Amino acid sequence: MTSPEPADADIRRRKLLGVGLRADLISRADVARDVSLTVTETGTDLAVVEGFDNLCQDLEVGLTTLRGSDVFNQQFGFLGLSPLTSQTSPVLAREGVRAAVAEFLVSDPRVRQITDVQLDNPMGDPPGRWRRTLAVRVAFNTITGETAAISGVGLASDKSWGAVETTGTGS
């Protein structure tokens, strides 16, 4: 069996991972997003993201949206704040966030397998040093065979709220 031509692979990736409107962060201090415009030969149009970039943008939005806050889809969003507010044990809260990240990613049919979920250990900080951040990094495989890693999701120590770093490699 021969490997598909690059153009065929791009078409396949676009079909499997989708196309959506580009939604950039409005401010580095908030999770609000707005659609973007692009100038084309025929005028101005809405900018789109497709394939792998669309999947990553969708995951970014979902990981910074509180579950139940979307009036059009009450099942969409992230349950990571619940363990942070309901657990008195930092270890249990940390594991609850880890589980919530994994639960959100597996709910997306474009994510084939989660390969790693890492959270930093705020308990390892020197005594007397307090922080209110939790760095999250998750690696996964997509249904197209690409490997991706996202980190940040608004909980990371040096990221703006809502900023997510993504890395990906082809299959």
Cα dihedral: 57, 6, 15, 62 (round 10): -10
What share of the chain in percent tops pLDDT 90?
25
165, pLDDT greater than 70:
no
CB burial of residue 43 (10 Å; 0-12, 13-18, 19+): exposed
* 8: enclosing H helix or E strand: helix 6-17
Between CA 55 and CA 22 the distance in angstroms is 11
Answering whether pTM is above 0.85, one says no
Fold of 51-169: Nuclear Transport Factor 2; Chain: A, (3.10.450)
| pLDDT interval class at 108 (50, 70, 90) | very high
pLDDT digits (tens, 9 = 90+) for 30-85: 677 888 899 989 999 999 999 888 898 888 888 888 888 888 988 888 888 788 78
